[in-house]
Amino acid sequence: MRSARLSGWFWLERISGIAERLWNRASGRTKTSLAFTEANLHPGDEGDEIADRVKTLSLEIYSRGREHAAQKGIIVADTKFEFGTIDGELLLIDECLTPDSSRFWPKDEYVVGQSPPSFDKQFVRDYLETLDWDKTPPAPRLPKDVIEKTSAKYLEAFRRLTGHELVNA
């Protein structure tokens, strides 16, 4: 079995307020293991039908997710989709439109040129940037308050997007 991980990212321009959809290739890293190949495909490459299909599907999934989120008061500022192929069949192979794969901003708090509060892992990234850590494993342990605040952000995104509450077990 051979699969390729293909990503499409979308960005909402924070500085200018441009809210148009953009598709661009993922970072240029490649990882190979026994059953998994991580690769970046570029729409428009000679004869690359798979890359063009990834772009089409990414834009369609993003558009639907963005529209749903907008109705719930959330801006999907960016997101990533991962696709794979098994025996030539293109598959969506990972989560999509979640706080781990996207940046969600509250629409009512968005101001052009400012970094808005978010319902995603940006809170953890911001915390880690305050530490004297060289970003090599192992990562520092997160304090309880950072974990709790991150969890609350994810739960709020879930509540807003679905209209349901998750009950802690």
Is pLDDT of 103 > 80? yes
DSSP for 125-147 reads HHHHHTS---S-SSPPPPPHHHH
Give helix then strand counts, H and E, for the chain.
3, 6
Angle, vertex CA 3, rays to CA 61 and CA 97, nearest 5: 25
Q: CA angle, 80 as apex, 75 and 85 as ends, to 5°?
A: 145
Q: Which residue has the higher pLDDT, 108 or 53?
A: 108
Categorize the per-residue pLDDT at 169 as very low, low, confident or very high, splitting at 50, 70 and 90. low
The dihedrals phi and psi of 68, each to the nearest 5 degrees, come to -60, -45
Give the tens place of pLDDT for each residue, 117-148: 888 888 898 899 999 989 999 999 999 999 99
The residue ranges of every structural domain in the chain are 4-162
Looking up tokens 């305050």 gives: 130
End-to-end CA, the chain:
37
Residue 132, pLDDT score: 92
Report the range out of 10-19, 103-112, 136-145 with the highest average pLDDT: 136-145
CATH for 4-162 is 3.30.470
Please indicate whether residue 25 or residue 1 has the higher confidence score (pLDDT): 25
**Higher model confidence: residue 62 or residue 12?**
62
**pLDDT on residue 153:** 92
Q: Roughly what angle, to the nearest 10 degrees, separates helices 122-129 and 144-162? A: 160
pLDDT in the model for residue 3: 38
Which of 2-6, 23-27, 36-40, 68-72 is least confident? Answer: 2-6
Q: Quote the tokens at residue 40.
A: 């970046």
Mean pLDDT of the residues in the chain: 75
